Amino acid sequence: MSEAASKTKKARVNVRRPDVMERVAAEVAEHFHSSVVEKLKDKGGKLTIGNTTVRLAQEFGFCYGVERAIDLAYASRRVFPENRIFLIGEIIHNPDVNGQLRDMGIVSLPWKDIGPDYDDLTDDDVVIVPAFGAPTSFMKKIEERGCYVVDTTCGDVMKVWRRVRGFAKDGITSIIHGKSNHEETRATSSRALGEDGSGHFLIVLTLGDVDYVCNYLIHGGDRAAFLSKFEGSYSEGFDPDVHLEKVGVANQTTMLKSETEEIQRRLRKALEIRDGNGDAFVVFDTICGATQDRQDALFNLLRTPIDMLLVVGGYNSSNTQHLVEIGEKQLPTFFIRDASRLKSLQEIVHYDLHHAEEVTSSYARIFSSHEPVSIGITAGASCPNNLIEETIIKVFGLRGIDREVVVNA
């Protein structure tokens, strides 16, 4: 048997051993747990000290899939204390969490392209697949190198993969609502090719993208212009005049649900106009429950009287970005990486989604020390509770309230 053939025989590794997970649970709690956040949740998400109120959304922070991914990454180091351990990209989109893994000696591999770093892998190396999953080409490469594989892919993501594989098998093109350069969408689109690689996909991001597709479905159009507009967002050999006969919708699990639903409605209507019925349209709800819970909880929070909203999390976190978009429509909203970005309640360093850069804003409203203020806080599914705690303490601190008072409230 050749070396390459023998390497492919190595099974994926289950690192969830009871003795290991007990130690992992303690380490994860030490790094990311927050007693302040837990107490605030017990109080219904509202804490008032003096004339300062903090309101925390009912659902926020780590979801089950993220917790599982982090646990498995920590467990990998315990099960393989002497091996080199690599991670495809980031485990989740949070710099604090990824920094902890780097401190444990877990090395990040490129996730956009398979480069020479992958050729250097050996059969003694461990490779962690992140919560977003990885494209099939990456998985094949790792298997060819014979590495131990610890797969932390979220179960909700794998449900989407099963659906788009089914679309491909049935000759249905997957229209994927997502960001074409996002790890999860790249992983999903690779599965939309099907087992034999003959399937097709088209990635759309905005309602404007969908309207363009719908107009093409109804009226036809310039094929070359279509391909130019969506360059980099469709499968090899995709032809809008051929591969839009039957379509099915799936999505990156962290997208805004209301937008995905509107995309589905518009596509269905366009196909009904084109064909006289909707038989060529297949829909499947692939928004994950945790994403929807956090969006719904924010809508509920925004029904309460608050002066500003702070959204805490990694700037490249898709589900966190959508929370920002929801907040921006109703009140001053600031997307902060952590508490250090709060210079005062008037000067905030935050991420501007529209210009894709960190900026400093001088909030026009002046909060005097004697004026009542209410601050809303939420966080995406990849934000640990310790960062939320520090944000809460910083808000009260800027109002002259000591940490000890908040911790003991």
Question: Which residues are designated catalytic?
Answer: 184
Q: Which two tokens stand for residue 129?
A: 């697949």
321: left (phi over 0), alpha (psi -120 to 50) or beta: alpha
Given a contact cutoff of 8 angstroms between Cβ atoms, the answer to whether 217 and 270 are in contact is yes
Task: From 214, 221, 200, select the one nearest 268 (Cα to Cα).
Answer: 214
Q: Which two tokens stand for residue 262?
A: 């509107």
Task: Give me the amino acid identity at 216.
Answer: Y
φ, ψ of residue 348 in degrees (nearest 5)? -130, 130
Task: From 182, 140, 138, select the one nearest 160 (Cα to Cα).
Answer: 182
β-sheet bridge partners, residue 375: 54, 308
- Distances from the Cα of 199 to the Cαs of 165, 196, 280, in angstroms? 8, 8, 16
Please count the other Cβ atoms lying within 10 Å of the Cβ belonging to residue 306: 21
CB within 8 A of 311, min separation 6: which ones? Answer: 320, 323, 324, 327, 333, 334, 335, 336, 377, 378, 379, 380
Q: Which two tokens stand for residue 326?
A: 């929801």
